[in-house]
Amino acid sequence: MNTQLPQGRSPALPVLAASLWMASVGNAPLWRELDALGVLSGRSGWLLAFSMAGVLAAALFALLSLLAWRPLLKPAIAFLLAATAFGAYFMWTFRVVIDNSMATNTLQTDWHEARALLTPQLALVVAVGWLLPAWLVWRRPIAYGPWKSRALRNTGAAAAGLLVAAALILLSFQPLASTMRNHKHVRFLLNPLNSLYAFGHSAIGEKRRPPGVVPLGTDAKLMAAAGKPPLLVVVLGETARSGNFGINGYGRDTTPELARAGVATFRNAWSCGTSTAASVPCMFSNLGRAAFAGRERDSENLLDVLQHAGLAVLWLDNQPGGCKGVCDRVPTVNVSTEKDPQLCAGGECLDGILLKGLDQRIESLPADRRARGVVLVMHQMGSHGPAYSLRSPPAFKRFQPECASSHLPDCDVAAVRNAYDNTIAYTDHVLASTIAWLRGRADYDTAMLYVSDHGESLGENNLYLHGLPYAIAPDVQKRVPWITWLSPGFEQRAGVTTACLRGRADGEISHDHLFHSVLGLLRVGTAAYSRGLDAYAGCAAP
Ligand SMILES: [Zn+2]
């Protein structure tokens, strides 16, 4: 039997070519970052870059060699080229890195939200970085030979790849190790291994916890209080950064309506995560940031506890991506696909849609629960990027010129900031309109609490969007607005005054406080409540 492979048709060549392409061009964001960190200067710098590219190429070569079987190899190369091209585009354009939380967030993003990311630049990267090299590989006939010799050759090639990688690591161990130690985020730039690791880890992590949820706060009871039943609106903000709110001291008056509405603001509030998928479930949990990440089981959340206490709960959502599991056991309405000609003209709805027909929505909740009180959660589209200009209607585009592109580096930083500030100006209006509606509900003692899920980078240090690993994310991605409005009746029943809250505007709080603060405000008694984590407790009678 002839085991000789025809000349030039061995899989080794396309495997090597694809590996070199991904390790070099595909890692442009890595080289840019290393250059910016100043570690590429001089001869030792170039040696380091050469070693890193070599290690990457050798590792990819080893991986692909193991997959060098007839039905596998070409799809595997095409897949890795795609992961490399998409990863490189997003890391290059938005200066993000690809880690577990970014992967979880991406897996939970729906197509509707992702449309804004489809830009001509992305199309170009896909064509040149993925489709063209994939086509070159695909059209090339490859002779694999009999399976026994194939297995031998694949194992040998993979071993050779790993040996080369190990030798390069040893050769440049000192600079390599110190770079990885001093700049921990660099590991999340190693394309496409970062995506393989993060998406794999994220998919396994979802499976690791047993299905189902552990009950929480089943002992919850409304404590007796004078006055009418409470009606609390919790507005869950999106991508709003604390520092861009006029009432928090921003140089621009982005929040004139809230300033007139008599609210109290906590200016020193910190998020649980830097993305929606990381923050939202954590915010409504009783565990707090540290314990939530390491939880063994999923358990019920704030909304379940409020229901156990007999309150009527309704989740209104203007995000196509929904509530990330938080509202699974409470009545939910997603308004993001409404057909309102004014508010939903572009296929997505402005947040004003959340306020339409609120009275009827309240009426539709069970009467016996309504008699005890109502909690309405409104999940905003808020300042969701990168298409900030879609989040505000013309009347609120006060800051001009505004960036209208989803490819943010196309615009100068000032125009990006203008577009973003217009979204805050519109959120100001939505929140003030919510308060106006609450003032009109004379049948309840009313209150509003507004907290955003995370902040945003707007081009500072050339960073955009959000989602950097918490430990290295800049503060602007982690500082969130936390704004409270209490009607006089609600102040009485909660025993908390706006004046007292204003005196505590700079006290440090975080999303860890949300669960306990809402229970405290509504005077819900349960063993799950912790007074030490109630942001309002310092202003409440014990
Ligand atoms: Zn978010």
Statement: residue 264 has pLDDT above 60: yes
> What would the two tokens of residue 392 be?
């505000």
Contacts within 8 Å (CB) and 24+ apart, 358-364: 358/437, 361/314, 361/316, 361/333, 362/231, 362/312, 362/314
Identity (one letter) of the amino acid at 441? R
Average pLDDT of the chain, as a whole number? 93
pLDDT by residue (tens digit) across 135-178? 999 999 999 999 999 999 999 999 999 999 999 999 888 888 88
Q: Using the mean position of ligand 1's atoms as its centre, give its distance from the Cα of residue 287 in Å.
A: 20
DSSP code at position 205: H
Least confident segment among 284-288, 317-321, 500-504, 522-526: 317-321
Q: Using the mean position of ligand 1's atoms as its centre, give its distance from the Cα of residue 181 in Å.
A: 30
- φ/ψ (deg, to 5) at 464: -130, 165
Statement: residue 4 has pLDDT above 60: no
> What would the two tokens of residue 377 be?
């959660």
Q: Using the mean position of ligand 1's atoms as its centre, give its distance from the Cα of residue 540 in Å.
A: 31
Q: Using the mean position of ligand 1's atoms as its centre, give its distance from the Cα of residue 237 in Å.
A: 8
Q: What SS3 state is found at 120? A: helix
pLDDT at 469: 86
The whole-number average pLDDT for the span 197-202 is 86
Q: Using the mean position of ligand 1's atoms as its centre, give its distance from the Cα of residue 319 in Å.
A: 10
Where are the strands (E) in 95-229, listed by range?
213-214, 221-222
pLDDT at 406: 85
Dihedral angle over CA of 509, 512, 517, 520, nearest 10: -130
Q: Using the mean position of ligand 1's atoms as its centre, give its distance from the Cα of residue 368 in Å.
A: 34
The whole-number average pLDDT for the span 371-389 is 96
- Buried b / exposed e across 281-314, counting CB within 10 Å, b at 16+? bbbbbbbbbeebeeeeebbbbbbbbbbbbbbbbb
The whole-number average pLDDT for the span 462-483 is 91
pLDDT by residue (tens digit) across 338-356? 999 999 988 899 999 999 9
The whole-number average pLDDT for the span 290-294 is 90
Q: Using the mean position of ligand 1's atoms as its centre, give its distance from the Cα of residue 420 in Å.
A: 14
Strand partners for 334: 317
Statement: residue 373 has pLDDT above 80: yes
Q: Using the mean position of ligand 1's atoms as its centre, give its distance from the Cα of residue 300 in Å.
A: 21
Q: What is the 3-state secondary structure (H, E, C) of 368-415?
A: HHHHHCEEEEEECCCCCCCCHHHHCCHHHCCCCCCCCCCCHHHCCHHH
pLDDT at 5: 45
